[in-house]
A and B are shown apart, each in its own frame.
Chain A
Amino acid sequence: METSEISTNRARSPERARRFSDRLASGDTAANLIVFLAAASIVFITSWIVFELYRNSAASRHEFGWSFLTGSSWDPVNEHYGALPFIYGTIVTSALALLMAIPFGVGAAIFLAELAPPRISNALTFLIELLAAVPSVIYGLLGIFVLVPMLKSAEPAIRATLGFLPFFKGPFYGVSLLAAGFVLAVMIVPFIISISREVLLAVPADQREAALALGATKWESTWDIVVPFAGKGIVGSIFLALARSLGETMAVTMVIGNTPQISMSLFAPGYSIAAVIANEFAEASSEMLRSTLIELGMVLFALTFLINGFARILIITTSKKGNAT
């Protein structure tokens, strides 16, 4: 560009300074400062949370080191704590929840995005999003008084059909890993549905039309073309749901049985990280117990952080792909 060379000497360097004085004169600087401080405080608060978790878990980290994550005794009398039963309970209940929620949530999302007429789809989505707004303590309430008795009465049937599996052995009191997994599944289905639906809707129409034009049935075009196209985004929605279920506290606390043990059987009661914090923190009498619970909080934070981050990457890359085409 020849012109730019000719006129570089005319480039206005004092421009910045002038603009600053403009802003100062018009009160822009004050406004800028206020909103900047608000934004900065978000960064500050989030970092502060991480810092407090780290600082207040120091005693526990020094005492137990990495073996904290693999130890399985929970012994308040001798102040010896291992996190494994809680990590186990958290992961098993969440995995169970995903197992039940994925087919269901993705199925419903496919229906809403691809098959239902827009008006019906919007109405149903509206209702499903309401489901996501139900507070978790309400799910816990229904878990205790509806789900647990229901599972109890279904116990003989489960034993008769699936009893040969190691997952359905031992006594069953209702409150259990199974019950917690169930409640979590119900809670995360709306998330999977609404995010997957959005990802599916973002798939360009020409993809579908191409398949249909080749004589594919509606289902074939959906399952063979649209769903794979949105695949990463759907997986992302599943991971978001997973992060949520890992951190879910109240509903799980109310139905998991709160017993720190590691058992193959889903009929057995268990414990989750969030639940043990909820139950023990207020009454934690010793420094060490409190520090241990905070370290558990930090583990939970780290888990959800990793999974959320992963989910976001997946969702962002699929929506980019949709936009590019």
Chain B
Amino acid sequence: MTPRLFYRKATNYVMLTLTGLCALVAVGILFFILGYLLWNGGTSLNLDFFTKLPVPVGESGGGMANALVGTGKLLLIASLVGVPIGFLGGVYLSEYGGSTFSFLVRYMTDLLNGVPSIVIGIFAYTVIILRQHHFSTLAGGIALGIMMIPIAVRSSEEFLRAVPASLREAAVALGASKSRAIVTVVIPAALDAIITGIMLDLARVAGETAPLIFTAFGNQFWSPGWNQPTSSLPVMIYSYAISPYDEWHRQAWSAGFVLLSLVLFVNVFSRLVLARKGHARS
């Protein structure tokens, strides 16, 4: 073997190994995060976390029941805002699109997707909080809902487009109008994938903190109705983590563990479902 060939072969193996290491470390980080949260948060997690309200500094125990409910309420409002607009917008792009206007819609959707979440928070603040003069669940939910729109549009459009044109043709050839064909054939054929996409979207905004800090704000107690400040899991993690109290840090770990489990569970489940569907289709 000439020195030159040896050098080339050696470089080959060294570089291949290095890139493999990069990939492994990236995956390692995931397992580190999971393991660390499990160890730190899972161990301090107990039933109280899910059933009790936070307790004042100095007392031990307590939980984050109000934050769990708060996150649930925020996500409900977010879905009410984001899903109809996103889904129907996706239907528009996939079924009625093709014009200059759909180019504009697509462009604006991409733009919205790139808006930093904190800026969405500012927007919700200026249009809702400034008028109401107090923080509210509603404002936080709307901020999250706006964040849901771009992904809902994109995934709905993508899955609707994946429905074979032959099905549309079959429906139309039987005398169905375009809208009828869309409602009775195209959407049902893509529905489970679309729902999965929306679940992923929800999981993404469930962990959003920045747009909530000055919209939903926080609350040490239950938040009645929809028009009061409410605590939420991510904001609780944030404010407890930056507090100086060890007991609160423990609570933050527990909350982090719960939030991450939720998010990852939805992600793993949805991605497996989508992967299997993709398989069945091809």
Contact = CB atoms under 8 A, between A and B. Distances in A.
A27 interface: yes
Contacts of A138: 33, 37, 207, 237, 256, 259-260
Interface string B220-260: 00000000000000100110011000000100110010011
Given A107-B19, A115-B19, A282 B89 contact: no
Interface string B110-143: 1110111111111101110000000100000000
A222 B212 CA distance: 45
B263 A133 contact: yes
A104 B21 CA distance: 9
Contacts of A293: 122
A133 B92 contact: no
B241 A108 contact: no
Contact of A35 (B89, B118, B206, B234): B89
Given A112-B23, A249-B210, A301-B119, A141 B217 contact: no
A154 B9 CA distance: 36
B23 A111 contact: yes
Interface stretch (A8-16, A37-45, A62-70, A259-267): A37-45
B166 interface: no
Nearest to B94: A35
Interface string B16-29: 10111111011101
B11 interface: yes
A247 interface: yes
A144 interface: yes
A45 B149 contact: yes
Interface residues of B, number: 90
B153 interface: yes
A128 B27 contact: yes
Interface string A176-199: 000000000010011001000000
Contacts of A39: 88-89, 92-93, 101-102, 105
22 contacts: A39-B89, A42-B153, A43-B108, A45-B112, A52-B126, A53-B123, A56-B126, A107-B21, A111-B16, A127-B30, A129-B271, A133-B264, A134-B260, A135-B259, A140-B238, A141-B253, A146-B36, A189-B29, A190-B26, A250-B209, A282-B213, A297-B122
Interface of A: 22-23, 26-28, 30-32, 34-43, 45-49, 52-53, 55-56, 103-105, 107-108, 110-112, 115-116, 124, 126-131, 133-138, 140-142, 144-146, 186, 189-190, 193, 217-220, 223, 243, 246-250, 253-254, 274, 277-278, 281-282, 293-294, 297, 300-301, 304-305, 308, 312
Given A26-B178, A219-B15, 13 more contacts: A35-B89, A41-B85, A42-B105, A42-B109, A43-B105, A45-B85, A49-B146, A111-B16, A111-B23, A128-B30, A134-B33, A137-B207, A141-B256
